[in-house]
Structure 1
Amino acid sequence: MAYRFAADALLVLHLAFIIFVLFGGLLALRWRWMPWLHLPAAGWGAAVELLHLYCPLTPWENRLRRAAGEVGYPGDFIEHYLLRLIYPEGLTAQAQLWMGAVVLLLNLAVYAHWLRRQR
């Protein structure tokens, strides 16, 4: 029971980290110290995706699930839990580029605004 709880808690933490990577820049508008946390997290998140690195949370979650008597899953967190949500069937490469551009422009706008407020 404790291993399953730990695996589920790690899953929630993993999802929270992904959300923070995507939207944490908005928190910098409220708290001046937030970029010190968000920028390294966003850098790690971008590196994992762009360089196809393996996030260490996935094997850790799988080990906890196996210790709880459950079966782990193949692949990584994104593939297992979020792939169909993030990449629905019929999604084109051009649509992905547009979505990536929107994310990049949103974060650039947030941090440009943040920098102006700091001056």
Structure 2
Amino acid sequence: MLLANAVAVLHAAVVLFMLTGALLALRRPGLARVHAPVALAVLTVNLAGAPCPLTTVELALRERAGAAPYDGGFLGHFLFGPLGLDVRSAAVQVGMYSVALGLNAVGYGLLLVRTRSGESRPAQP
């Protein structure tokens, strides 16, 4: 069960990085080289409707440890389920994609403006 929980923690880290990586790249521009492929991979898996590979591994490890797998995927189980929201509903899907795309658009938009203006790093206080 320890491995399944480790994969769940890794999954949470990937989700947080996907959401905040573009904003973090404003402070450390080199992160964009890591974040962009991660964000594109997450977006591709979601838009294709494919199961997340991390969820698949986590559920297999849970079953191997004798625990019952959960329904609804990682976000459905750990984030939206406890809030009483169905991750498959249109409203939750629109909200989820709006937050993800909005944060990334703001981050990469600001990064692009900085790059074009010649400012590579934020001013140090």
TM-score bucket (shorter structure): 0.7 to 0.9
Q: Which moved more, 1:19-28 or 1:69-78?
A: 69-78
Q: How does 1:17-96 map to 2 (within 5 A)?
A: 17-84=14-81, 88=85, 93=90
TM-score of the aligned structures, taking structure 2 as reference length = 0.73
State the SS of the aligned residue for 2:81.
Answer: helix
5+ residue gaps in structure 2? Answer: 119-125
Alpha-carbon distance, 1:99 to partner: 6.1
Moved more, 23-32 or 98-107: 98-107
Number of aligned pairs?
A: 114
Counterpart residue type for residue 110 of structure 2: H
TM-score (normalised: structure 1) = 0.76
Distance (whole Å) between structure 1 residues aligned to residue 91 and residue 58 of structure 2: 33
Higher relative contact order (CA 8 A, sep 6+): 2
- Give per-residue Cα distances to partners, 1:14-35, cap 9 Å, x unaligned: 0111111111111101112111
Residue 109 (structure 1) aligned with residue 101 (structure 2): no
Unaligned runs of 5+ in 1: none
Distance 1:37 1:98 in 2: 25
Q: Distance in 2 between matches of 1:40 and 1:19?
A: 14
Corresponding residue SS for 1:71: coil
- Which aligned segments of 4 or more residues in structure 1 are displaced greater than 6 angstroms? none
- Report the aligned-residue RMSD: 2.6
Shift of the 65–84 alpha-carbon distance from structure 1 to 2, 3 Å rule, reads closer
